[in-house]
């Protein structure tokens, strides 16, 4: 039985195995209409892979399956005999963004009321989703979430937040689960665990729509593929008959040449143990209630050093980086020197930020001002979320240069909140580097990026780390993304253990 408002002539009716169908739809994102006259049918037993370059419309099309993105032409139809609306769940970066935005709005309202609050805790967030009988304990155990139950939502790492959001979706006991880049932010163990769990659930009858840019993340249970590009469906059909490696995009300009077309901020100094540190932490610790995230870390970053910060989800990598960027209040409870000045001795947060460029998932979640891509890049000169000052001529030219180097000129006039997650990430990367910072923090910079954009960003990082005086601090859970210019590693472990090592010698 189809919904009454989507009835059709019996001659048009589809097989009883159909779950959901998009019939010649055109979608609206912001003020733009995209993917005109797109048709797509998901049938019983099918698991669909959705591929395409950043900005090709993958997130919007899969969100149209749930009704979250409006259909302005054509029809969305659900076969209620096989699938009700409540049995469709979706996980995406936008889900993450919306969850944090709601929590911050709630926190602000309580602040106006004079109520001190650490924000929504994990248990309350998950209980708000409800659950089918017997699902709760099995989901919490499978996702290893019991230790996180009493933690504030905003204290979680990106990988932990992904697991929480996935658990929230599974608590609804869906029949169709839409996973938009679900492996982003997960360490190798977490990726394997998620792949195994999703594969097992699919074999038990859960149907999956998976959006991913990485071929090694394609689940073995995927049966069909839909590839997008150039504002249209390039091809769709059984996965065995289609190639999934072609993004449908023209070959990019040679990434390193484009990025290194002119010098940045001078030649890199040779690393020296005698040089005054850019960053120094002594016995640094961070706790949330009874949970100790960082435990007595001693760390120095000297001029000419590029540091890889590694470790599993929940080990404290993003927390450590927030101590540097002045985005964590517990920075002032620790012995930390930045650029030769002790934290909390009179320097302003803006003086610190002026010398630091930052890209992270957490920052992308916070950057919600509806400015254009060009204005977002310009805001990097002023360390603001949004643009509230008039940029000078040289600044405007430099912003255009960086957008050209990263091949995102076409995003200059598009509001950042109308971009895909990957497009936003590229704009925010340009924002981070545009001012030639003394320290550039790239925290999982390739999350959500297609293969072409990953190549550009990694080439940019390698060039900056090797050919400029900017100190690079880099994190990733993908070994193949380690820039060759990294000189040292700080390894964090979940139990509070940590160690440092020089990457080009036996020094520790």
Helices (H), 187-270: 188-203, 255-259
Structure confidence by residue, pLDDT tens digits, 136-152? 888 888 888 888 898 88
Q: Residue 332 CB: number of other CB atoms within 10 A? A: 11
Report the pLDDT value the prediction gives residue 23, as an integer from 0 to 100: 97
Helices (H), 188-332: 188-203, 255-259, 317-324
**From CA 355, how far away is CA 255, in angstroms rounded?**
26
Task: Tell me which H or E stretch contains 466.
Answer: helix 451-467
Q: Is the dihedral of CA 158, 163, 168, 169 positive or negative?
A: positive
Task: Tell me which H or E stretch contains 37.
Answer: strand 32-43
Edge-to-edge strand order for the sheet containing 18-29?
32-43, 18-29, 71-78
pLDDT band of residue 12 (cuts 50, 70, 90) is: very low
Q: Residue 144 CB: number of other CB atoms within 10 A? A: 15
Query: 9-13, 344-348, 433-437, 453-457: which has the minimum mean pLDDT?
Result: 9-13
pLDDT band of residue 334 (cuts 50, 70, 90) is: confident
**Does residue 491 carry a pLDDT above 50?**
yes
Which of the two residues, 191 and 153, has the higher pLDDT score?
Answer: 191
Mean per-residue pLDDT, 185-207:
94
Edge-to-edge strand order for the sheet containing 207-211?
88-91, 176-180, 207-211, 48-52, 224-229, 232-238
**From CA 132, how far away is CA 129, in angstroms rounded?**
10
**Does residue 258 carry a pLDDT above 50?**
no
**Does residue 122 carry a pLDDT above 80?**
yes
**Does residue 88 carry a pLDDT above 60?**
yes
Domain at 1-83+175-250, CATH class: alpha beta
Report the pLDDT value the prediction gives residue 446, as an integer from 0 to 100: 97
Query: 229-243, 382-396, 424-438: which has the minimum mean pLDDT?
Result: 229-243
Report the pLDDT value the prediction gives residue 261, as an integer from 0 to 100: 39
Report the pLDDT value the prediction gives residue 62, as an integer from 0 to 100: 97
Distances (CA, A) of 498 to 148, 157, 234, 369, 381: 21, 17, 48, 37, 34
The dihedral region occupied by 283, where left means phi > 0, alpha psi between -120 and 50, and beta the remainder, is: left
Kindly state the percentage of the chain with pLDDT values over 70.
85
Structure confidence by residue, pLDDT tens digits, 423-461? 999 999 999 999 999 999 999 999 999 999 999 999 999
Would you kindly state where each structural domain of the chain is located, as residue ranges? Answer: 1-83+175-250, 93-172, 371-434
Distance of CA 426 to the CA centre of its chain: 11
pLDDT band of residue 272 (cuts 50, 70, 90) is: low
pLDDT band of residue 81 (cuts 50, 70, 90) is: confident
Report the pLDDT value the prediction gives residue 43, as an integer from 0 to 100: 96
Report the pLDDT value the prediction gives residue 255, as an integer from 0 to 100: 43
Mean per-residue pLDDT, 60-85:
92
Evaluate whether 494 touches 315 at the Cβ level (below 8 Å).
Answer: yes
Which of the two residues, 504 and 63, has the higher pLDDT score?
Answer: 63
Which of the two residues, 24 and 96, has the higher pLDDT score?
Answer: 24
Edge-to-edge strand order for the sheet containing 498-502?
356-359, 439-443, 471-475, 307-310, 488-492, 498-502
- The whole-chain average pLDDT of the chain stands at 86
**From CA 299, how far away is CA 314, in angstroms rounded?**
19
Evaluate whether 292 touches 316 at the Cβ level (below 8 Å).
Answer: no
């Amino acid at each position: 039985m189809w919904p009454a408002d989507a009835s059709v002539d019996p001659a048009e009716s589809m097989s009883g195995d159909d779950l959901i169908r998009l019939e010649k739809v055109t979608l609206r994102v912001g003020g733009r209409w995209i993917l005109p006259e797109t048709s797509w049918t998901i049938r019983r037993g099918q698991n669909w892979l959705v591929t395409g370059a950043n900005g090709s419309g993958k997130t919007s099309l899969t969100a149209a399956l749930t009704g979250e993105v409006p259909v302005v032409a054509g029809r969305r139809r659900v076969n209620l005999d096989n699938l009700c609306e409540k049995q469709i769940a979706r996980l995406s970066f936008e889900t993450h963004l919306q969850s944090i935005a709601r929590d911050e709005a709630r926190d602000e309202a309580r602040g106006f009321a004079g109520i001190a609050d650490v924000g929504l805790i994990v248990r309350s967030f998950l209980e708000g989703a409800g659950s089918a009988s017997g699902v709760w304990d099995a989901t919490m155990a499978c996702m290893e979430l019991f230790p996180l139950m009493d933690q504030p939502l905003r204290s979680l790492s990106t990988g932990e937040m992904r697991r929480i959001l996935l658990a929230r979706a599974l608590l609804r006991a869906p029949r169709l689960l839409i996973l938009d880049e679900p492996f982003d932010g997960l360490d190798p163990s977490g990726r394997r665990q998620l792949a195994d769990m999703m594969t097992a659930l699919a074999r038990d009858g859960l149907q999956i729509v998976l959006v991913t840019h990485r071929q090694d993340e394609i689940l073995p249970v995927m049966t069909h593929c839909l590839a997008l590009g150039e504002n249209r469906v390039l091809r769709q059909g059984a996965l065995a008959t289609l190639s999934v490696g072609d993004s449908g995009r023209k070959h990019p300009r040679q990434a390193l040449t484009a990025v290194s077309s002119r010098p940045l901020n001078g030649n890199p100094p040779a690393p020296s143990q005698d040089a005054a540190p850019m960053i120094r932490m002594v016995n640094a610790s961070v706790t949330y209630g009874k949970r100790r995230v960082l435990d007595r870390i001693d760390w120095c970053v000297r001029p000419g050093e590029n540091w890889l910060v590694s470790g599993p989800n929940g080990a404290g990598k993003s927390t450590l980086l927030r101590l540097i960027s002045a985005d964590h209040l517990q920075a002032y409870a620790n012995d930390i020197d930045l650029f030769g000045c002790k934290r909390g001795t009179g320097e302003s947060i803006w003086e610190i930020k002026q010398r630091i460029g930052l890209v992270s998932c957490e920052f992308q979640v916070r950057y919600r001002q509806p400015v254009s891509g060009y204005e977002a890049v310009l805001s990097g000169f002023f360390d603001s979320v949004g643009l509230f000052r008039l940029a000078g001529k040289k600044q405007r030219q430099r912003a255009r240069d960086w957008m050209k180097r990263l091949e995102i000129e076409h995003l200059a006039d598009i509001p950042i909140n109308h971009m895909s997650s990957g497009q936003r990430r590229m704009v925010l990367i340009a924002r981070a580097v545009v001012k030639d910072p003394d320290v550039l923090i790239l925290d999982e910079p390739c999350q959500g990026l297609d293969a072409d954009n990953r190549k550009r960003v990694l080439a940019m990082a390698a060039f900056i780390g090797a050919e400029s005086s900017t100190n690079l601090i880099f994190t990733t859970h993908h070994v193949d993304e380690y820039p060759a210019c990294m000189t040292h590693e700080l390894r964090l472990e979940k139990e509070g253990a940590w160690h440092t090592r020089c990457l080009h010698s036996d020094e520790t």
